[in-house]
Chain A
Amino acid sequence: MKNLKKTALASVLGTATLVSAFGAMADDHPVKLGLMLPYSGTYTALGEAITNGLRLAIEQQGGQLGGRDVEYVELDSEANPSKAPQNMSRLVKGDKVDFVIGPVHSGVAMGMLRVAKQSGAITIIPNAGLEAATNQLCMPNVFRTSFSMWQDAYPMGKVAYEQGHRRIVTITWDYAGGKEDLAGFEEAFEAEGGEIVEQILVPFPSTEFQSYLTQIASLEPDAVYTFFAGGGGVSFVRDYAAAGLKESIPLLGSGFLTEGNVAALGDAGEGVMTTLHYAETLDSEENQAFVSGYQEAYGEAPDTYAVQGYDTGMMLVQALDAVDGNTEDQEALIEALAGVELESPRGPMSFSDSHHPIQNVYLREIRDGRHEVVGVAAEQLEVPDDACRM
């Protein structure tokens, strides 16, 4: 088995070196970053925040990576998984980028990773939380600077039990990301001795929650744990509050329930507790500098997505400094990337063997329209990724 992995690694690297040797770029050529992010449709805001964060990090370091100028190739992923392989292929084979950064959407990630596997292109995932990316698929050339659904949800299981909840209803959309998130929470909560009364799966992307809220009310659990994101998250939290459930049955969630949307939640969001690897109110020098820098550059407050983009940029800065801007030697480059350690706005961050961030997960509560940090739900949490040993 170990040999097989090694051969696979060697062949991936082999192809990759071939590809870059073919490009035969001198060192004074710019480093090409291919951004495959949604710039249209539902996930536009996320794509833009990641791009902003990434550019900010590189600009702050003098606009260069390892002494070379940077060229950005932005490609709209359309959040359309069926177009993901061809778009990725365009960046790798057409534009011949040195790094691909993307995507937001897990389905798109699958399509991209299929091409990443064939081409060996170095891919940094700044959002998509699908477990497979760093576990079952396990590729040396794939990194993520974000999270996996499991990582952000697992710590909440323990928190919920410690808060005294014993019977919990979980609810999410009937799609892969939601189910992985619930699985993380349920694993931890049941391990503590709690009981999952019911797992409710809502057809994706429906935001018609009334019948489920009625169901929750009649089940009378101690608390509800949920994963929804974007508009669905806002709808769910508002409907939950409007149904008068918030007072009697506390609402817990993955941080994505409310991330970036606190303003849209209004009063309905107050008191909702979530776990996430970042909060804009984190009291650290790095975070304060980041928040004010971002605010200055773009005139708006950053969110987790912006941090993920920012850390992607910082990761590239550090790794390319380590290899003096040499992107030809892919093996060394991968090693440099894997060795990156950041004092990120989100706290200390390094990478596991499966190239997944090892990071803090914070317990946050919305107070006065901000995610206040209640505590650290899990310190330097490493994702098992037991199918992947590199």
Chain B
Amino acid sequence: MDLAFFGVQLLNGLQYGLLLFLIASGLTLIFGIMGIINLAHGAMYMIGAYLVWDLTLRLGNFWLAILIAIPVAVALGLIIERLFLDTLYKRDHLYQVLLTFGLILVLNEAQRIIWGGDVHSVPVPAPFDASLQLTDNLQYSVYRLFVMGVCLALAGVIYWVIRHTRLGIIIRAGAVNRDMVEGLGINVRTLFTLIFSVGVALTAFAGMIAAPLTSIAPGMGDSILITCFVVVVIGGIGSIKGAFWGAILIGMATTFGSVLIPSLASMVIYLIMAAVLLVKPRGLFA
């Protein structure tokens, strides 16, 4: 393995890891703060991608499509939270698992009814539809660099909001002791609705921003879901910092695992997870 090869693979691993973080951040946010486990996470990622594809086709502009799709995703989160989850907070995780399992079926089938079963793609939007020459025969899409930047920026914003703002303090307090926060005159119910909507929007946004880099097809969320779970388990469930480093670790492991130990490529992330659990059962950063 020469140095250039190693360097490019490092870049690949980092880029995949950052994207994974963005996809997993909504999951870990919703769990960490609300204690809700959301199996329909992957379906929401898929919906984000389909929304932006549909709107780009209608409006002719990717950025405008994202701008409109985000409020739609927030609204979806709002409806699901108020309609279904609101009654489940005091119940065991089992009910959340099952309810969101039901949601997967409904959302996947709704996707099929609304958008059909064909494969679609979104062209890489201007001004990022250019490439950099990495090695003598390998180019790298500028859009990938842009996505990396967005993921890093969002990671910073999420971390800052939770650590350093009044809202963040309330959120953390609400997660620890809901009754106490309510006693202080803060409406936790509204807060939870807000968090869930933001979590769903983040996930859908990941689908939107990743859309030009992938293909948009039925069931695209199912395969990403389990990877996100592994990321979150490794990092420590509910920890944004953990999700970040967990995602980077998985990104690197997937990239280098596929090249160095191809025979174990499909299992490598699970092996890492098992190893982490053996040493730290609550994840690396919990």
Contacts and interface: CB of A to CB of B under 8 A. Distances in A.
Contacts of B117: 43-48
A202 B215 contact: no
A214 interface: yes
A207 B19 CA distance: 13
Interface stretch (A64-72, A261-269, A316-324, A334-342): A261-269
Interface in A252-284: 260-261, 263-266
B265 A202 contact: yes
Given A214-B9, A264-B119, A230 B262 contact: no
A248 interface: yes
A264 B121 CA distance: 5
B106 to A, nearest CB: 12
B119 A243 contact: no
Interface residues of B, number: 44
A234 B8 contact: no
A140 B262 CA distance: 40
Interface in A1-57: 40-48
Given A44-B112, A244-B131, A203 B265 contact: yes
A376 interface: no
Given A211-B9, A242-B141, A40 B121 contact: no
Interface stretch (A153-161, A162-170, A182-190, A215-223): A215-223
B139 interface: yes
A212 interface: yes
Interface in B119-148: 119-121, 123-124, 131, 133, 135, 137-141
A203 B262 CA distance: 9
A238 B212 CA distance: 10
Contacts of A263: 120
A203 B250 CA distance: 14
Nearest to A200: B262
A260 B214 CA distance: 17
Interface in B239-286: 254-256, 258-259, 262, 265-266
Given A45-B116, A214-B9, A245 B137 contact: yes
Of the listed residues B2, B216, B217, the one surrounded by the most CB atoms of chain A closer than 10 A to its CB is: B217
B138 A214 contact: yes
Given A41-B218, A200-B262, A264-B120, A206 B112 contact: no
Contact of A238 (B8, B215, B254): B215
Given A200-B262, A202-B258, A210-B16, A42 B139 contact: no
A125 to B, nearest CB: 20
A265 B139 contact: no
A208 interface: yes
Contacts of B255: 210-211
Contact of A266 (B5, B123, B140, B262): B123
Contacts of A202: 258, 265
Contacts of B168: none
A238 to B, nearest CB: 6
A204 interface: yes
A264 B131 CA distance: 20
B199 interface: no
A156 to B, nearest CB: 22
Contact of A40 (B16, B109, B138, B266): B109
Given A203-B265, A207-B215, A261-B119, A242 B16 contact: no
A191 interface: no
A44 B218 CA distance: 8
Contacts of A230: 119, 215, 217
Contact of A210 (B12, B108, B133, B217): B12
Interface string B209-243: 00001111111100100000000000000000000
A384 to B, nearest CB: 29
A243 B139 contact: yes
A211 B215 contact: no
B13 interface: yes
A197 interface: no
A205 interface: yes
B216 A231 contact: yes
Contacts of B197: none
Nearest to B2: A218
Contacts of A218: 2, 5, 135
Interface string A271-314: 00000000000000000000000000000000000000000000
B118 interface: yes
A249 interface: yes
Interface string A79-90: 000000000000
B118 A45 contact: yes
Scoring A43, A214, A245 by chain B CB atoms within 10 A of each residue's CB, the highest score goes to: A214
Task: Please give me the 9 A-B residue pairs with the lowest Cβ-Cβ distance, nearest first.
Answer: A44-B117, A244-B139, A231-B217, A203-B266, A45-B117, A234-B215, A231-B215, A217-B138, A210-B12
Given A210-B12, A210-B255, 7 more contacts: A41-B108, A200-B262, A202-B258, A214-B9, A230-B215, A233-B119, A248-B137
18 contacts: A40-B109, A41-B218, A42-B218, A47-B117, A208-B16, A213-B138, A230-B217, A231-B217, A235-B214, A235-B215, A238-B121, A239-B213, A242-B139, A242-B141, A243-B141, A260-B118, A263-B120, A264-B215
Interface of B: 2, 5, 8-9, 12-13, 15-16, 108-109, 112, 116-121, 123-124, 131, 133, 135, 137-141, 213-220, 223, 254-256, 258-259, 262, 265-266
